[in-house]
Amino acid sequence: MPEALLLDDVHHAFGGHRALTGLSLAVAPGEVVAMIGLNGAGKTTALRVLTGRLRPTSGTARVLGRDPARLPVDAARRLGHVVGAALVDPALTVAENLRVAAALHGVDRDRSSSAAGAVCDRLDLGAWAHVPARALSLGNAQRLGVACAVVHSPSVLVLDEPTSALDPRGVVLVRELVRERAAAGAAVLVSSHHLDEVARVADRVLAVHGGRVVGSLDPGGAELERRFFDLVLAADSAGASAAASTRDAA
Ligand SMILES: Nc1ncnc2c1ncn2[C@@H]1O[C@H](COP(=O)(O)OP(=O)(O)OP(=O)(O)O)[C@@H](O)[C@H]1O
């Protein structure tokens, strides 16, 4: 099956700083892929490229086969994401935000209330349904961001550290939601620092280091943390050897 999300040899520099250095990945429909990496590895930058927020210096990005910076409406309606600030209006209540998110993604008026109610219950936000988003705790605000990203049952889902502020119950709910979307055929790309969580939710884990994918890890195998650090150290020593060869040749 063709990939729903694709980054191919993507480079991006912020001024003189190379944040992405040839990052490539692909996510197929029905698959959950997780990116793990140290702070500053380039995960968020890669997700910003995929959500059309950032045009890379070079390389190819595709969402459902289209350029994410010029996503046609029909493709945009099939995408859900939380990268950076969630698409939430602080003045609107939780229920209102969910209905607006559903409507913006093409869910018709009749179905938007039931879709909003269902995802509200799913993420245990029912008690806050009539509370303005600005009054939510950090964790409940994060739940709302995720809820707004999935209310329209997207076929592509991109989530940047979706459980960073969640309590253990919230982590389980988001995990179940992600697996459910994938079971329904969605392609899911998620970044996380929680290796235990990644091991539970992902079909494949990509180690991102120095702005590129340096290896793939089987989430089911033992010692995910050690295998991740082995990949990082191997990438660092390969980089140091290459730099030394270049110096010697000069
Ligand atoms: N707008 C920006 N301007 C300048 N540099 C940036 C900008 N955004 C990111 N960077 C730099 O690009 C590199 C990659 O950042 P990015 O946020 O993608 O990392 P990350 O893997 O998501 O890190 P973290 O795990 O800390 O969230 C970092 O060195 C960061 O400082």
Q: Which spans in the chain are helix H?
A: 43-50, 73-76, 94-104, 109-122, 138-150, 168-183, 195-201, 224-249
Same domain, 24 and 140: no
Position 115 pLDDT exceeds 70: yes
Report the residue among 7, 11, 12, 14 best suited for mutation to probe ligand 1: largest number of ligand atoms under 8 A from its CB. Answer: 14
Same domain, 126 and 194: no
* Atom 28 of ligand 1, nearest CA residue: 40
Work out which ligand 1 atom sits closest to the CA atom of 208: 21
What's the number of domains the chain is made of? 2
Confidence (pLDDT) at 214: 97
**In which domain, by residue range, is 224 found?**
1-78+155-250
Same domain, 146 and 91: yes
Confidence (pLDDT) at 85: 83
The tens digit of pLDDT for each residue in 153-202 reads 999 999 999 999 999 999 999 999 999 999 999 999 999 998 889 999 99
Residue 124 in tokens: 């245990």
The tens digit of pLDDT for each residue in 132-149 reads 999 999 999 999 999 999
* Atom 24 of ligand 1, nearest CA residue: 39
Percent of the chain whose pLDDT exceeds 90: 86
Model-level ipTM above the cut of 0.85: yes
Confidence (pLDDT) at 1: 60
Out of 153, 174, 192, pick the residue that ends a domain.
Answer: 153
Out of 136, 153, 170, pick the residue that ends a domain.
Answer: 153
For every residue of 67-131, DSSP letters joined together read -GGG--HHHHTTEEEESSS-S--TTSBHHHHHHHHHHHTT--HHHHHHHHHHHHHHTT-GGGTTS
Out of 153, 171, 203, pick the residue that ends a domain.
Answer: 153
* Atom 4 of ligand 1, nearest CA residue: 14
Position 48 pLDDT exceeds 80: yes
* Atom 3 of ligand 1, nearest CA residue: 14
Average pLDDT over residues 115-131: 96
Report the residue among 18, 23, 25, 44 best suited for mutation to probe ligand 1: largest number of ligand atoms under 8 A from its CB. Answer: 44
Report d(CA 204, CA 32) in Å as an integer. 7
CATH number at residue 247: 3.40.50.300
Same domain, 121 and 164: no
Same domain, 163 and 220: yes
Same domain, 246 and 159: yes
pLDDT band at residue 238, thresholds of 50, 70 and 90? Answer: confident
Position 56 pLDDT exceeds 70: yes
Same domain, 122 and 160: no
Position 242 pLDDT exceeds 80: no
Is-contact 185 29, C-beta < 8 A?
Answer: yes
Average pLDDT over residues 233-246: 83
Q: What phi and psi values does residue 71 have, to the nearest 5 degrees?
A: -70, 125
Tell me which of 249 and 147 has the higher pLDDT. 147
Report d(CA 23, CA 212) in Å as an integer. 4
79-82, strands of its sheet edge to edge: 79-82, 156-160, 187-191, 32-37, 204-209, 212-217
Same domain, 103 and 88: yes
Tokens 């219950």 map to which residue? 121
Report d(CA 17, CA 140) in Å as an integer. 35
Confidence (pLDDT) at 241: 77
Same domain, 60 and 104: no
Same domain, 179 and 140: no
The tens digit of pLDDT for each residue in 195-235 reads 889 999 999 999 999 999 999 999 988 899 999 999 999 99
Confidence (pLDDT) at 240: 76
* Atom 17 of ligand 1, nearest CA residue: 44
Ligand 1 contact, 43 CB (< 6 A): yes
Ligand 1 contact, 14 CB (< 6 A): yes
Ligand 1 contact, 84 CB (< 6 A): no
Confidence (pLDDT) at 68: 97
Same domain, 246 and 161: yes
The tens digit of pLDDT for each residue in 6-47 reads 999 999 999 999 999 999 999 999 999 999 999 999 999 999
